[in-house]
Amino acid sequence: MVYHVPALLNETIEGLNIRPEGIYVDATFGGGGHSMEILKRLKTGKLIAFDQDEDARQNVPEDGKMIFLNQNFRFLRNNLLFNGIETIDGLLADLGVSFHQFDEPDRGFTFRQDAPLDMRMSKRNPVTAAFILNNMDESSLADLFFKYGEITGSGKIAKEIISLRDIRPLTTVNDIMEALEGLTPAHQTHKYYARVFQALRIAVNHEIDALKELLGQTLTVLNKGGRLVVITYHSLEDRIVKNFMRTGNFEGEEKKDFYGNLITPFRLINRKGTTPGEEELAKNKRARSARLRIAEKV
């Protein structure tokens, strides 16, 4: 089974503008597809790869130019400093869930097969999707599905979950599917399920907070001319990345100088973002929602 097929591989590597002697970070190592291509272009340079999923260790190559850290990328700067690195020349983050995580039994990331309601990127995380569903109050559950799944009518989902868990604990994927029965809009069943599972996954892994922490640290660790390259898969995280690259903050609040020029720490390389072409989608349908954004530190 293929661990993962990286999306927009060529466009991502080109976007990093790799120098052979540079220092780069792959914040989401996964199957190592992006990292392998970065390593090919390094001579005296260094690659620091992060992945909080213990399973990713199996893909780490024996290469003296690379340091693998089984850590959440939110701890970027501290880990760099621990390894004697103050600044870097580029950072890549592919924010998608790996094929391995979707397809591995018992991870609970997908609604397509029954499994324990886990959804943890790292087993060191004590909070599972089942814990959230069985312990969070109705109002908080509704907010979770609205905020992270962008689901209107999220209150109905929360109400059904509360009703079902009053009868028995929700422990498996089939349990949450039972709660969603009759709530899905016509002709949008899969999309609706995907948003529910997305919301739970984001909550379990604190993905939005971690993303903001990672991006914020790039203002300090990226050298002038260094590239920030991020692949997003849904509008919530893409909005955060877009705003940050354009204005240096997550709200997209514009600050201008005396002459009316936008004050920003980055120069946008691909203003509208890059999406997969037909040829890539024919080989990798899971890349269909990917959007690549590239910015250069000024």
pLDDT digits (tens, 9 = 90+) for 112-169: 899 999 999 999 999 999 999 999 999 999 999 999 999 999 999 999 999 999 999 9
> What is the architecture of the domain spanning 111-205?
Orthogonal Bundle (1.10)
Band of pLDDT at residue 2, cut at 50, 70 and 90: low
Q: Where are the domains of the chain?
A: 9-100+209-297, 111-205
Note the pLDDT of residue 4.
75
Please name which of 224, 200, 180 lies closest in space to residue 107, comparing C-alpha atoms.
200
Residue 102, Cβ density class (10 Å: 0-12 exposed, 13-18 middle, ≥19 buried) = middle
Tell me the two tokens of residue 157.
Answer: 């989902």
How many Å apart are CA 271 and CA 252, to the nearest integer?
14
Tell me the two tokens of residue 251.
Answer: 């709200």
List residues bridging with 92 in a β-sheet.
26, 229
Report the alpha-carbon angle 206-212-214, nearest 5. Answer: 100
pLDDT (average), residues 270-290:
94
Same fold, 9-100+209-297 and 111-205: no
b/e per residue, 166-199, with b = 16+ CB within 10 A? eeeebbbbebbeebbeeeeeeeeeeebbbbbbbb
> What is the architecture of the domain spanning 9-100+209-297?
3-Layer(aba) Sandwich (3.40)
Q: Map tokens 């392998």 to a residue.
A: 36
Note the pLDDT of residue 188.
87
Please name which of 298, 295, 292 lies closest in space to residue 94, comparing C-alpha atoms.
292
